[in-house]
Structures are given as C-alpha cells and as structure tokens.
C-alpha cells in the first residue's frame, strides 16, 4: 500500500505537469484549446493569460507533491507525507471546483482527481495496515 500511494502521488504530480504544459505553454495551439472545450482561436488568445496563470498553480501542486515523494523515499517521512497529502488533497479540491462549473467538465474533473484520490486511499490503507 505504501508504494502504491507513492506511485499514485508521482502519477498525480506528473499529470499536473502535463496540464501545466497545456495551459501555460501550448494553450493557443488548436488541439489544446479544443481539448479544453474552447470554440475558437480568438477564445484561446483571449483566455491565454488566465490559462497561463492556472497552469502555474498546477505546476506548484506538482512540484510540492514530487518533493513529498522524494522526501518520503529519502527518510524525511513526516515532511514528505505532509507535502503529498496537501498536494493531492488540493488537486482533488481543484477537481471539485472544476466539476462545480458544469457537467461538461465532469470528464476533466475525474481525470484530474483520479490519481490524487487513489494516492490518498492507499495512504490511508498503508497507515491502517
């Protein structure tokens, strides 16, 4: 359970790095803005500053979670688990906020929340067993 929790924390962080790249680096490319359900290149250009900012939020959550994984693996377990739990819980909270904006974002919210949720479940199971 311990290693499964760490693996899902790593996957959650990696996914959020990918989201950062989409939002902060590639936002105005058509395949990306279509993935985020924008209707046109003009909308992508108009929302670019917002997406750029949002991408960095995802990056910061990813970095904190990665640092937590490294911390756990290198012997600073309390700090590491604190960062992992905070990072993954924040990712889940962000997915809930996304879902609250409309059903059309349910798939994206589920994708964003799956790995962090599995991390937290396996973390709890590792503590219980």
For the stretch 22-46, pLDDT in tens is 999 999 999 999 999 999 999 999 9
Indicate the pTM of the whole model.
0.93
CA proximity to 33, closest of 51, 14, 11: 51
Which domain range does residue 13 map to?
Answer: 2-25+53-128
What was the pLDDT predicted at 8? Answer: 98
At 100-114, the pLDDT tens digits run 999 999 999 999 999
Q: Which residue has the higher pLDDT, 129 or 82?
A: 82
Average pLDDT over residues 73-79: 94
Domain assignment present for 37: no
Provide mean pLDDT across the span 96-125: 96
Domains held by the chain: number: 1
Helix (H) or strand (E) holding 65: helix 41-73
With respect to residue 30, please indicate whether it lies within any of the assigned structural domains: no
């Amino acid at each position: 359970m311990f290693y499964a929790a760490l693996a899902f924390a790593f996957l959650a962080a990696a996914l959020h790095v990918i989201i950062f790249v989409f939002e902060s680096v590639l936002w105005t490319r058509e395949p990306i803005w279509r993935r985020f359900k924008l209707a046109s290149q003009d909308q992508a250009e108009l929302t670019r500053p917002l997406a750029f900012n949002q991408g960095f939020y995802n990056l910061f959550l990813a970095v904190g979670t990665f640092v937590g994984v490294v911390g756990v693996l290198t012997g600073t377990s309390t700090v590491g688990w604190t960062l992992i739990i905070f990072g993954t819980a924040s990712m889940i909270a962000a997915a809930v906020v996304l879902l609250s904006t409309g059903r059309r974002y349910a798939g994206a919210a589920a994708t964003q929340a799956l790995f962090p949720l599995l991390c937290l479940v396996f973390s709890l199971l590792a503590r219980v067993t």
